[in-house]
C-alpha cells in the first residue's frame, strides 16, 4: 500500500460473455487501467445449424476455458437470463450459463452476473437503451475505430465494461473509506448496484 494510505491501483481484466441458445455466444476481453478501458479481443462462437445442444454446451465450455487460460482474467462477467423468456428457453439458457460458470470456477476466477438492464444502464446511463446506442457507447469507451461486430460480441464487451464500471466504483468507495473513514460513514450510503448503475468510465484518448 502506498505511504499516503491510498489503495494501490492495478489493472483489471474482465472476460465478458453474452450466452445464446440458438445464435452465437459473444465474448469480449476488456482491461481497465485506472479510468481507461481497452479491448483485448472480441468475437462470437457460431455453430452449424445441425449442432446438438450437447455439442453447443461442450464448445462453449471449451471456448471459455481457452479464453481464461490465454488472458488470465481477474473476473468473468456474464449476462443473466432474461426474465421475459418462456420457461423452456430460460431453462436451456441457464444451462448455457452453467457451463460458462463451471469453466470460470474450474480456473478459480470469480464470476458475476448482470441483467440486460443493468448492463445498458452502466454502459449508456439508460436502462432502456437500444442495441445501436449500446454499440456506439462500447465503441467510444474502448476507443475503437468501428462499432464491434457481430452484435453478440458487442453485447459481450458491454457486459465486461459493466463489471469494470462496478469494480471501478467499488475501488473509489474503498479509497474514500480508507482516506477518511469517519467522514465516509456519514456521507456514503451502502454500496449497491443502483448507486453505480450510471457510473461510466470517463473516456481517455
Assigned C-alpha cell, 26? 459473444
Helix (H, G, I), strand (E, B) or coil at 107: coil
Could you tell me how many helices (H) and strands (E) the chain has, helices first?
7, 5
Residue 193 dihedral angles phi and psi, to the nearest 5°: -60, -35
Write the secondary structure of 15-36 as one string of H (helix), E (strand) and C (coil). EEEECCCCCCEEEEEEEEECCE
Catalytic site residues? 18, 79, 152
Helix (H, G, I), strand (E, B) or coil at 41: strand
d(CA 86, CA 70): 36
Assigned C-alpha cell, 182? 469517519
Amino acid at each position: 500500500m502506498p505511504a499516503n494510505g491510498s489503495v494501490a491501483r492495478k489493472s483489471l481484466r474482465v472476460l465478458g460473455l453474452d450466452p445464446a441458445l440458438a445464435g452465437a455466444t459473444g465474448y469480449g476481453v476488456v482491461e481497465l487501467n485506472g479510468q481507461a478501458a481497452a479491448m483485448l479481443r472480441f468475437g462470437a462462437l457460431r455453430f452449424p445449424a445441425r449442432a446438438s445442444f450437447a455439442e453447443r454446451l461442450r464448445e462453449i465450455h471449451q471456448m471459455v476455458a481457452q479464453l481464461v487460460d490465454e488472458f488470465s482474467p481477474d473476473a468473468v462477467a456474464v449476462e443473466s437470463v432474461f426474465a421475459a423468456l418462456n420457461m423452456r428457453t430460460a431453462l436451456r439458457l441457464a444451462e448455457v450459463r452453467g457451463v460458462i460458470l463451471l469453466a470460470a470456477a474450474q480456473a478459480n476466477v470469480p464470476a458475476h452476473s448482470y441483467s440486460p438492464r443493468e448492463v445498458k444502464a452502466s454502459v449508456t446511463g439508460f436502462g432502456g437503451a437500444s442495441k445501436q446506442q449500446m454499440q456506439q457507447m462500447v465503441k467510444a469507451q474502448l476507443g475503437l475505430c468501428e462499432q464491434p461486430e457481430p452484435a453478440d460480441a458487442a453485447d459481450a464487451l458491454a457486459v465486461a465494461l459493466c463489471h469494470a464500471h462496478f469494480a471501478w466504483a467499488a475501488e473509489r468507495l474503498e479509497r474514500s473509506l480508507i482516506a477518511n473513514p469517519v467522514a465516509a460513514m456519514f456521507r456514503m450510503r451502502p454500496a449497491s448496484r443502483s448507486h453505480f448503475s450510471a457510473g461510466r468510465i470517463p473516456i481517455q484518448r
